[in-house]
Structure 1
Amino acid sequence: MPRPYALPAAPARAAAPLLLALAATALLLTACGTEHAGAGGVGGGATEQPSRTQVDDPGKEGIRITSLTLPSPSPSPTRRHSVSAGSLATDSGVVASYEVTNEGAESMTYSVVFTFMSDDGGAVTNQTATVRDVTPGKTVRGTVRAGELPPSAPRVTQAKVLEVAKVPASEAAAEPGVCPASGIRVSADKGDAAMGLRVVGLHLDNCGTRDYTVEGYPLLELLDDGLKPVDGVKILDGSREITTSAGADEQPRPVTLRPGEAATAGLVWRNTTESGTPVNVPYVRVRAKDGADPVTVTPNLDLGTTGKLGVRPWKKTDR
């Protein structure tokens, strides 16, 4: 007589292959799911990390780039679809690390222009960094970003130090929003050039708590790359010997600035080049008046062979 418990044995044996098949299917589905996520990560740029490369840059005047961080060369599909030729610029993600070493004998403030370039060496964008109060023998490190670039811009692959301006830290123009101990802030703008005529504005701000009076013209000293005096240039009161197209010269008169008020003066010249050696003046030491603290600005006067620089008197700014 058959034993009753032998009847379920067959179903049990039949279920075993079914369980193994289900388990294998589950593993296959899990593996397929993982592969899809990985492919999506690579295609979407989520797993791509920026590359950082060391830069063998000789630099200029103690400033050199030490490394360059570049984003992935392939933008993600999301970015391609969301950025069109007419859209706003987006941050490039390009960052240059640099170091500034003061090889001189006094504390200096540096203004450095970095240029970011494409594979063919063409400039894509320039950025300026200011490094203040670097003492003799000290090395200061920092970073500068290439910033926003239009989608049509070439890909940045390299960078270098383009220009360096350095002035004694005690004579550097105060950074925006900072008032010197004197209560007077002196600065120069980027100027304007048209048909060979150059005009740079000097700005005098009373950021202190007392009235400040100037009269006549700012006092100037022209300096070369080594911050030594430049000879052979005549500094003129007014601009009438340089041009008459900018209007008649105003007569110098006392200008009293209350706290919060400002005044402007102007440097006017032409870059005409004829016979002789052109003269370039990278630095100008400015005193608002006799006895005032000097401030050295960097207007880069390309005076050609004219040998003349016109100076307009201080005039209160309307606000």
Structure 2
Amino acid sequence: MRRPHPRLLAPAVALFLATACGGEHAGTSGGPGAAVPAPRATVTDPPVDGVRITSVTIPSASPTPSASPGSVHADRLPGDSGVSAAYQVSNDGDEAMTYTVIFAFTTDTGAVMGNKKLTVRGVAPGRSKNGTVGLGVLTPGASPVTRVKIEQVTKVPADEAPDKTGACPSSGVRLWADDGDAAMGLRVVGLHLQNCGERDYSLDGYPELSLLDEDHRPVDGIRVLHGGAAVAMGTGYDEPPAPLTLKPGETALSGLIWRNTTLAGSTAVNVPYVRVLAKPGADPVIVTPELDLGTTGRLGVGAWKRADG
């Protein structure tokens, strides 16, 4: 479950696509029956939080096979849509940042046929990184994709970015948030901590949380309550804290629990970032659970417990 934060949603970035640059036909290069490169269109839309799409590639109709016996033409991998977008991530700040970007692949009418999420790590101040994101396999029966847009951008200081699979941090532990779950206004997002080091790692209590706005400034007026039962029963995070020692490779679990109830006439509160300390003195990690707290003013946090399995 991923809830795009209202103030982080990028305006729709309409991109020029294949029909506007279609003019290529099978056989225009390489002789009859040769594969035709997919049309690529340059994009000049302004960046969204430092991220911009520089070009898009939308394949035209499949090349017509040559009528000559024995001729061969190249095809994409079976099922691969061939749709892709080249992007650039630029950091105009004064510290290295890690960016997470969601790209939406849509029809002309804006219907989303697929999303791709990627993370670009450690973009140095004043520097840029380029890359390409592909749609991959399009669901059978889906409408043709004709546009690509930046749907969401989040960014955190590189030295506080979560990393589920990269090199083990100097702290000896990895910490990250999952995509969570939602049911009838109740939100639950898991916090995972893995001992990736070579020594035992001890926990006893609750993660320490700081709520941050989109500029990473503190958000006031929200009570952080210990235990899931402070918000709702039966979330799995009701147990009191107990000492816990993780051997190398073992994982602990906590959780963020809230409701998105909004009272009429009141202003809803949304918190895109949460800085997490696994225990006092631990290295901070900023996760992006996108807390849509409504007007409740409450966030529950579970005590660390050993993860199942």
Flag whether TM exceeds 0.5 (same fold). yes
Which deviates more from structure 2 when the two are superposed, residues 186-195 or residues 247-256? 247-256
Pairing partner for 1:128 from 117, 122, 132? 117
Q: Unaligned 5+ residue runs, structure 2?
A: 1-25, 66-77
| Matched position secondary structure for 1:148 | coil
Instruction: Kindly indicate whether residue 74 of structure 2 is the aligned counterpart of residue 91 of structure 1.
Output: no
Instruction: After superposition, give the CA deviation of every residue in 1:13-33 in whole Å (9 maximum; x if it has no partner).
Output: xxxxxxxxxxxxxxxxxxxxx
- In 2, Cα distance between the equivalents of 1:284 and 1:247? 21
Q: Look up the match of 1:229.
A: 218
- In 2, Cα distance between the equivalents of 1:156 and 1:93? 10
Q: Look up the match of 2:186.
A: 197
Indicate how the Cα distance of structure 1 residues 177 and 136 shifts in structure 2: closer, same or farther if over 3 A, else same.
Answer: closer
Instruction: Kindly indicate whether residue 282 of structure 2 is the aligned counterpart of residue 292 of structure 1.
Output: yes
- In 2, Cα distance between the equivalents of 1:75 and 1:285? 52
Structure with the bigger RCO (C-alpha within 8 Å, sep 6+) is: 2
Pairing partner for 1:50 from 30, 34, 38? 38
- In 2, Cα distance between the equivalents of 1:74 and 1:111? 33
Q: Look up the match of 1:304.
A: 294
Instruction: After superposition, give the CA deviation of every residue in 1:69-111 in whole Å (9 maximum; x if it has no partner).
Output: 111234768xxxxxxxxxxx81110110000110111110000
Q: What residue identity is the alignment partner of 1:293?
A: D
RMSD of aligned alpha carbons: 2.3
Q: Look up the match of 2:47.
A: 59
- In 1, Cα distance between the equivalents of 2:137 and 2:32? 24
Instruction: After superposition, give the CA deviation of every residue in 1:111-146 in whole Å (9 maximum; x if it has no partner).
Output: 001111222222221111211111111111111001
Pairing partner for 1:282 from 272, 282, 290? 272
Which deviates more from structure 2 when the two are superposed, residues 127-136 or residues 175-184? 175-184
Q: Look up the match of 1:72.
A: 60
| Matched position secondary structure for 1:170 | helix
Indicate how the Cα distance of structure 1 residues 273 and 75 shifts in structure 2: closer, same or farther if over 3 A, else same.
Answer: farther
* TM superposition shift of 1:246: 2.9
Which deviates more from structure 2 when the two are superposed, residues 57-66 or residues 280-289? 57-66
Q: Unaligned 5+ residue runs, structure 1?
A: 1-36, 78-88
Which deviates more from structure 2 when the two are superposed, residues 206-215 or residues 242-251? 242-251
- Report matched runs for 1:174-213 at 5 Å: 174-213=163-202
Contact 1:186–1:204 (8 Å) recurs in 2:
yes
Which is higher, the Rg of structure 1 or of structure 2?
Answer: 1
Instruction: After superposition, give the CA deviation of every residue in 1:31-69 in whole Å (9 maximum; x if it has no partner).
Output: xxxxxx969x9997x432211110122231111000001
- In 2, Cα distance between the equivalents of 1:175 and 1:110? 15
Q: Look up the match of 2:308.
A: 318
More helix by share: 1
Runs of 4+ more than 4 Å apart: 41-44, 74-77
- In 2, Cα distance between the equivalents of 1:304 and 1:280? 7
Indicate how the Cα distance of structure 1 residues 38 and 283 shifts in structure 2: closer, same or farther if over 3 A, else same.
Answer: closer
Q: Look up the match of 2:8.
A: none
Q: Look up the match of 2:73.
A: none
Indicate how the Cα distance of structure 1 residues 174 and 95 shifts in structure 2: closer, same or farther if over 3 A, else same.
Answer: same
Contact 2:277–2:285 (8 Å) recurs in 1:
yes
- In 1, Cα distance between the equivalents of 2:237 and 2:286? 28
- In 2, Cα distance between the equivalents of 1:123 and 1:75? 26
